[in-house]
Each structure stands twice: as C-alpha cells, then as structure tokens.
Amino acid sequence: MDTSECGVRRRGKRAWESAEDFPLLFDWEQVYAWRTHTYEEAVTPEKIQNPVKKRENKQLDRAGKRDDSLRCIDLFAGAGGLSEGLSEAGFHSLFAVEVVPTYAKTYEFNHRGAQVTTADIRTLDAEEIRKRLGLERGELDLIAGGPPCQGFSINAPVRSVLDHRNHLFKEYLRFVDAFQPRCILIENVPGLVSFESGKTLHAILDSLAELGYGADVRILGAAYYGVPQMRWRTVIIGTRGKELPPETFPDPICHAPIEPNFTSTFDGHSLLKIPTAEKSSKFTTVKDAIGDLPPLHNGEHGVAVKAYPMPPQCDFQKRARRGSTGIHNHEAPRLSDINVKRMAYIRPGGNWTDIPEDLLPKGMRQARKSDHTKRYGRVLPDGLASTILTKCDPHWGAYIHYDQDRSFTVREAARIQSFPDHYIFLGSMAEQFAQVGNAVPPMLGKAIGISIKSVLTEV
C-alpha cells in the first residue's frame, strides 16, 4: 500500500493533518473532559443499572451496530477483560477469537452480543469473517487485541525470537489489512519494548505504517487508573490515514506507589505516562477492592452465590457491585496444613522472612533475606496488591489475605483486576485463576477506550 496518499508518518515526524478540538464524551459513570484530560462524575439514576443488560436491549442493524456505540472486534481475546473495559467506554464487541476453550466460554457468557470463535487465529479467514459480520473495509471502528505475551515477558525464562508466539503479531496485522478499521489497539507486556533491542517494536510500528496507520506506544501503570495492583502494560494505538494525536493515551487519574523495573525508553524517549503534581486522588487500596466480600476459612466454599455482608464502603465497591445480584467465584483454595502454619506467623506487609526456619521449604532456608521478597507475602490492607498472576499461590507472591489466614479467591483476584462482580468466570478454579491473571484490567481498558472514543468521534 502506498502510504503517501494517507499522510501517515511515524512517531516524532510532522503530521499532515492537525488534530481538531475534541468534545466532551460521556460513558456509563463519568465524563472525560478531553481538553483538561480529567474524569468528572456524571452519574444519573437511569445509568445505574447493569450495562450488560442495557447493551443487550439495544437494537442491532445489519452489521450488528448498536445505536449508541462504536464497533470493535477482539483478537486473542482471553476471558474478555479488554472487551469489558472497552464496553464500559462505549464500544460493542461484534466478534472475538480465543484459542483456549474455557477462556472463550467465559468471554461468550459475559459478552452475549458477540460472535465468539474458539480457534487458532492462523486458521481463520479474515475476509470471510468481515463479510459474515456485514462490514465493508473501513467500516469497523476498532480492532483490539493482545497477542500472547509470554515470549516477550521479562519474567519468562527465555525471551527468544524463535518463540512461535512472538510471530502472532503478523496474524493481528492480517486482520487489520482485511478490515481496515479506523483505529487499532494492541496491548502487551512492558518487555515488548526491549525485546530484540527494540527491533520487534520497530517492526510492528513500521508494519502498521505500511498498512496506513500512524501509531505510537506508551507504557501505562494500571494503578494510575484506579486498579489496585502493581501492573504495567505496553499499549500501541494507531489511527488510519493520519498521525496519532499524542493526547490519545489516557492521562493518569491518581497517584500510586509504583516504580518500573523494566526498560521504559524507546528511540530515546520515555514511554511512561506519569501523573502530574496536580493529581490529588489516592490510589485504590486492597481493602477498597475486597474489604466488603464475605470472610472465608482456608478451603471454605459455601454456597455458589453469596450475599454481600455489608453495604459498599467506597466508590470502587459501588462500581464493582453495579448490575450484580450476588457474589460468584468466591471460594477459598485449600492450602496444605504446613502452609496454614506458615501463614500464622506472617504479618500484613510481611513475607517468608517472618516464618520460623524449621517451617520454611528446604529450598528457602539458605536464601538471603533480601531475596524473594514477595513469596509468602501477606498484603497490606492500605497498600497495592502484587501483580495478579495465573494462580494466587503464596509460593509465587503476596497473595495471602490481610486479615484472614488463606490465599485470595478468584473473585478477590478479579476485584483486584477491577472486574465487576457481574462478570462470571467458568471452568475449574485453576482455569478461573488463569483467566483472571491473564486479563487486561477492565478499568485500564476503559480509560484507553474513552481516549480512543474521543479521537474517533472528534468533530
């Protein structure tokens, strides 16, 4: 494709089209003021309802378009965290593809209006899917997706260009070429920036430019957007036919005690979005996130759907409960007797170093006190949680409840990931933990979606 007709330029070059003023845009709970880059409350009684039910009641046209939302598809969709956030920002998912069956079932259960395909994306005909959705090239508003990131992760044992997962970006680009959406969104781990000394990221941006998209990249800290954990994501956004306005990436809405432990510069520029000194809001704490959920003993399951034991204690809990009729996925994993004994010694904010030596795993008895500081960690109620991984095993990190001698439940992990309580996870408990841990926090996805929506609806 000849991009000279589109006026596309890579980051740092002059744009052929200047950005226009952007209007105020409304979502379910807030107004995003583009000119001041702030979120303002805009709650009305008629909006306080289950957004899933509200979306299902809308009428569809031939191409599946809702009368009040933008259309997107989600590639490498997982359990649907990114789609949930985009939905809260005003996007409607028409189609999703996910290779893991239990993830796809969870996605389909929670996104009833989307066509969900369980398949390896490499086997799919993108043109056939576009036609099945009744879309012409250029009609779709957004393609979102997070190609499997383990091959890029700084936490992975081997980061190799030979890892087949690293090449699945090409499949994402194949769908972009077939649909020609107005905007693209790619999310990945921070390690993407340094992978192969930045060559992979350069190749992605160059490939998008060849398809007619001006794209840029930032690293966003989820805690800066109200998510109660230490989690960073690399985000690439591109717009068709013009250079991406630098304001497209959402500004942080609160301060949080997080520090990057990865490469955060690219082509000599910092990619971090840091809150300004004017931001006075405090981060969401672990207690804010899970303090209203019923207490449980180690291994206790109880009824499948539990009642809330108290009224919501903060805005985060009010948001989490909206549209929910009860608490699902709140069952305590059963830890071994030796782990129960170990937990009794660990104070909030403490870790394995609080455990008497004779109770420690043999492999940790010779470890330095400064090593493995998150292992057997008990979270602070007024602090941030560690990054939620694919299982909340105390041996992996700080996943012990702050005042109950047990590890987190799936629902607590989902709350810490900012999933609303009406979002239900299917499969075994291990599968549910994996779905939660691999997801994009919906509150982060929502913030990104609001910014993209502002660009797409500019006047």
Structure tokens at 256: 């949080």
CA triple 252-257-259, angle to 5 deg: 85
For the question of residue 149 being annotated catalytic, the response is yes
Q: Other CB atoms closer than 10 Å to residue 125's CB: what's the count?
A: 11
**In terms of Cα–Cα distance, which of 348, 336, 316 is closest to 414?**
316
CA distance 172 to 143: 9
Which alpha helices (H) appear in 25-125, and where do they start and end?
Answer: 51-56, 81-89, 101-110
Check: CB of residue 52 under 8 Å from CB of residue 112. Answer: yes
CA triple 350-351-353, angle to 5 deg: 105
Sheet holding 183-188, edge to edge: 115-118, 91-98, 70-75, 142-145, 183-188, 232-240, 213-221
Check: CB of residue 316 under 8 Å from CB of residue 284. Answer: yes
Q: For residue 167, report the phi and psi dihedrals to the nearest 5 degrees.
A: -95, 0
- Give the H or E element holding residue 89: helix 81-89
> Locate tokens 């292992």: which residue?
375
CA distance 380 to 108: 35
> Locate tokens 């992996």: which residue?
396
The DSSP bridge partners found for residue 255 are: 282
- Among 6, 149, 183, 392, the active-site one is 149
Check: CB of residue 414 under 8 Å from CB of residue 435. Answer: no
CA distance 296 to 335: 13
CA distance 265 to 206: 18
> Locate tokens 């207690």: which residue?
287
The DSSP bridge partners found for residue 162 are: none
Check: CB of residue 179 under 8 Å from CB of residue 135. Answer: yes
Strands (E), 311-413: none
Q: For residue 394, report the phi and psi dihedrals to the nearest 5 degrees.
A: -55, -30
CA distance 97 to 445: 18
Q: How far is CA 397 from the centre of its chain?
A: 20
Largest CA distance in the chain: 71
Name the residues annotated as catalytic. Answer: 149
